[in-house]
Structure 1
Amino acid sequence: MDLDPELAALRPLGGFFVLRTGVPPRAGLPTLERAYVPPVRPAPLDASADPLAFRLRKVVRALGAPEDRIAASLAHQGLAARLWSVALGAAALYGRVPDLDPRLLRWDPDGSAPDDLWLGEVRALPGDSLDAVVREGHLVPLATALSGRHGVSARLLWGNAGAALASSVRMIDRWARTAGRTDVAERARTLAAGLFAHPDLVRTVEPATGRRRTCCLYYRLPGGGLCGDCCFDRPPGRR
Structure 2
Amino acid sequence: MDLDPELAALRPLGGFFLLRVAGEPPRPLPTLAQTYAHLSSDVHGDPLTFRVRKVARALRAPEERIGASVAQQGLAARLWSAALGCAVLYGGLPDLDPRLLRWDPDGSAPDDLWLTEVRALPGDAATLAATVLDGHLEPLSAALRARHPVAPGLLRGNAASALAGAARQLERWAHAHRRPEAAARARALTAELLAHPLLADTGTRTDTPAGTAFRRRSCCLYYRVPGGGVCGDCCFTRPPRSSPHAPSG
Aligned partners of 1:215, 1:137: CA distance in 2, in Å? Answer: 24
SS in 1 for 2:204: coil
| 1:14 partnered with 2:18 | no
TM-score under structure 2 normalisation? 0.90
Aligned partners of 2:234, 2:98: CA distance in 1, in Å? Answer: 30
Match of residue 82, structure 2, among 79, 82, 86 = 86
C-alpha displacement at 1:162, in angstroms? Answer: 0.3
Which structure 2 residues correspond to residues 54-93 of structure 1 after superposition, within 5 A? 54-93=50-89
Match of residue 237, structure 2, among 212, 233, 238 = 233
| Corresponding residue for residue 215 of structure 1 | 219
Which structure 2 residues correspond to residues 9-158 of structure 1 after superposition, within 5 A? 9-39=9-39, 41-43=40-42, 45-46=43-44, 49-113=45-109, 116-128=112-124, 129-158=127-156
**Amino acid paired to 2:160:** G
Bigger RCO of structures 1 and 2 (CA < 8 A, at least 6 apart): 1
TM-score under structure 1 normalisation? 0.94
- Pairwise CA RMSD of aligned residues? 1.4
| Larger deviation, residues 91-100 vs 145-154 | 145-154
Whether the 8 Å CA contact 1:20–1:115 is kept in 2: the answer is: no
Runs of at least 5 residues in structure 1 that lack an aligned partner in the other structure:
none
Q: How many residues align?
A: 234
C-alpha displacement at 1:25, in angstroms? Answer: 2.9
| Corresponding residue for residue 181 of structure 1 | 179
Aligned partners of 2:230, 2:197: CA distance in 1, in Å? Answer: 26
Aligned partners of 2:101, 2:165: CA distance in 1, in Å? Answer: 22
- Moved segments of 4+, more than 6 Å: none
SS in 2 for 1:16: coil
Identity of aligned residues (%): 64
SS in 1 for 2:165: helix
C-alpha displacement at 1:225, in angstroms? Answer: 0.6
Runs of at least 5 residues in structure 2 that lack an aligned partner in the other structure:
207-212, 243-249
